[in-house]
């Protein structure tokens, strides 16, 4: 079976990850032609917050495409908004909280690809 190199947003189902965010996998090696990384869209509703967690192996890049919120990254807490990009090293404790009135939307690139068993809740 050949894995697809193209996805269409409206055809992709969402699910809730261990940290509590609603995720839509845009590309993931388990279903698509990429091999060493994954790309997902995360949504956190107004007033919502993900659980503080770490990934032992995965490096993440977050790119905010909508909304505003607060990012906790190890011992720092700072505002994030549309257009911001955050690098999250393996082992860094992190979470996001939506402080606005519309969904906080974040593109999440993971390398290696996201795995539930690499998410440790704190």
Extended beta strands in 11-66, E state: 15-16, 22-27, 38-44, 53-55, 59-66
Q: Cα separations (Å) of 63 from 4, 39, 108, 122?
A: 24, 11, 7, 23
CA distance 114 to 22: 14
* pLDDT tens per residue, range 54-66: 999 999 999 999 9
DSSP 8-state class, residue 44? E
Q: Are 16 and 48 in contact (CB under 8 A)?
A: no
Question: Would you kindly state where each structural domain of the chain is located, as residue ranges?
Answer: 21-121
pLDDT digits (tens, 9 = 90+) for 21-38: 899 999 998 888 889 999
- Please report which confidence band the pLDDT of residue 3 belongs to, taking 50, 70 and 90 as the band edges: confident
pLDDT for 34 equals 87
Measured in degrees and rounded to the nearest 5, phi and psi for residue 10 equal -65, -15
pTM of the model: 0.91
User: Is 5 exposed, middle or buried (CB count within 10 Å of its CB: 0-12, 13-18, 19+)?
Assistant: exposed
Tell me the CATH number for domain 21-121. Answer: 2.60.120.10
């Amino acid at each position: 079976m050949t894995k697809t190199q193209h996805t269409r947003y409206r055809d992709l189902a969402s699910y809730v990850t261990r940290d509590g965010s609603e995720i839509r996998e845009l590309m993931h090696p388990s279903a698509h032609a990429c091999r060493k990384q994954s790309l997902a869209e995360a949504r956190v509703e107004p007033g919502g917050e993900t659980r503080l967690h770490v990934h032992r192996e995965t490096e993440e890049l977050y790119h905010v495409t909508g909304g505003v919120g607060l990012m906790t990254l190890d011992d720092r807490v700072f505002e994030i908004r549309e257009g911001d990009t955050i690098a999250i090293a393996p082992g860094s404790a992190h979470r996001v909280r939506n402080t606005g009135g519309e969904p906080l939307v974040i593109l999440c690139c993971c390398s290696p690809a996201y795995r539930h068993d690499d998410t440790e809740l704190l």
